[in-house]
Amino acid sequence: MLLSVAHRSATHALRAAKAVTRTYAAATHAVSSDGTRIAYTTTAGGGTPTLLINGWAGCAADWGSLVDRLGGSGRRIVAFDPRGFGASGDGAAASVRTLSEDALAVARAVGSSEAPVDIIGWSLGGLVAQELCCVAPSEVRRAVLASTS
Digit-coded pLDDT (tens) for 72-109: 888 899 999 999 888 999 877 789 999 999 999 999 99
Task: Report the b/e string of 19-49 with b at 16+ CB within 10 A.
Answer: eeeeebebeeebbebeebebbbbbbebeebb
The answer to whether the predicted template modeling score (pTM) of the entire model surpasses 0.85 is no
Q: 3-class SS at 141?
A: strand
Q: How far is CA 58 from the centre of its chain?
A: 9
What pairing do the DSSP bridges indicate for beta strands 117-122 and 140-146? Answer: parallel
Confidence grade of residue 10 (pLDDT, cut at 50, 70, 90): very low
Instruction: Tell me what the pLDDT averaged over the chain comes to.
Output: 83
In the chain, DSSP assigns E strands to 26-33, 36-43, 46-53, 75-80, 117-122, 140-146
In 17-112, DSSP assigns E strands to 26-33, 36-43, 46-53, 75-80
Q: 3-class SS at 142?
A: strand
**pLDDT tens digits for 33-67?**
999 999 999 988 888 899 999 998 899 999 988 88
Instruction: Give me the pLDDT at residue 22, please.
Output: 46
